[in-house]
Amino acid sequence: MKSKIILTGLFLLIVISLTNYTQAYQTEIGDGVFIFVQTSVRNSEGQLVVYLESSKFTNLNLEMMESFLDLEASIGNDPIVTINEKEYQVIRRVHSMIFPTEDFVASTNLSDNIDGQIIHLARFAHDGYTVSAGDSMESMWTFVRPVS
């Protein structure tokens, strides 16, 4: 048990150190795209264990994000809203999973598979949380982009 705590602490120090050298981007409505993610973790009995949310990201790949959102918009029925007399499209997608084993999660990632290669689009780096087998996670990604 003691070695697990030390190893987890060391892992956190490495993650925090790497995050400090990575530029974080705060997305805002009115920019090219506003991104907001909400992540909740529930134990195997359905009780809330962790809730995290942010509009600040590292590893933000805006060029690839644009083509990802174009594809998502083409397959969904995403609403158009008016904010301060400007029109925006709101694209909301949910990713869920059940963890098969005990694990430690230090970030929430959005990626796309392009020609068999995983491309990272955005990373919400957070302090992390531990999960046990049977715990579930749901991440709701919300994208707000100007309508051309």
pTM equals 0.75
> How many domains does one find in the chain?
1
CB 14 within 8 A of CB 48: no
Residue 125 within any structural domain of the chain: yes
Q: What confidence score (pLDDT) does residue 127 get?
A: 74
Residue 98 within any structural domain of the chain: yes
Residue 91 within any structural domain of the chain: yes
Range of 72's domain?
Answer: 24-146
SS3 category, 98 = strand
Residue 4 within any structural domain of the chain: no
Burial class (CB in 10 A: 0-12, 13-18, 19+), 120: middle
Residue 111 within any structural domain of the chain: yes
Q: Which amino acid is at 93?
A: R
pLDDT, tens digit (0-9, with 9 covering 90-100), for 26-61 = 666 666 788 899 999 999 999 999 898 988 887 788
Q: What confidence score (pLDDT) does residue 44 get?
A: 93
Residues of the chain with pLDDT under 70: 1-31
Residue 96 within any structural domain of the chain: yes
